Amino acid sequence: MKFFLECDKAVHVCDKSQYNEASFFEKLMLKLHILMCKLCRGHTKRNSKLTKTIKSANIKTLRPEEKQQLKTRLRQEIDKDPQS
Amino acid sequence: MELLNPDQWVEKYADYLYNYTIVRVNDHIVAQDLISETFLAGLRSKKNFKGEATERTWLISILKRKIIDYYRKINSKKGKAEVHITYRDDDAEGDWLEENAADPFDKTAEDRMENEELGLAILECLDKLNEKQATIFKKKTIENFDTEALCKEYNITPSNLWVIIHRARKSMVECLEKNWFN
* Per-residue pLDDT reduced to its tens digit, B68-116: 999 998 887 766 555 555 655 666 555 555 555 555 555 566 676 778 8
Residue B155 falls in which region: left (phi positive, over 0), alpha (psi -120 to 50) or beta: left
CB of A30 within 8 Å of a chain B CB? The answer is: no
Contact B39, A74 (CB under 8 A): yes
User: Of chain B residues 48-77, which have a CB less than 8 A from chain A?
Assistant: none
Distance CA A45, CA A37 (A): 12
ipTM higher than threshold 0.90:
no
Q: What share of chain B is helix, strand, coil (3-state, %, to 5)?
A: 75, 0, 25
From first to last of its 182 residues, chain B has per-residue pLDDT tens of 455 566 788 988 999 999 999 989 888 999 999 999 999 999 888 777 777 778 888 999 999 999 999 999 888 776 655 555 565 566 655 555 555 555 555 556 667 677 888 999 999 999 899 989 999 999 999 999 999 999 999 999 999 999 999 999 999 999 999 998 87
Q: How many CB atoms lie within 10 A of CB B40?
A: 18
Partner residues linked to A3 by β-bridges: A5
Contacts of B31 in chain A (CB under 8 A): none
Contact assessment for residue A16 and residue A10, using Cβ atoms and an 8 Å cutoff: no
- CA B114 to chain A, closest CA, distance in angstroms equals 9
Q: Residue B126: name the closest of A45, A50, A70 by CA.
A: A50
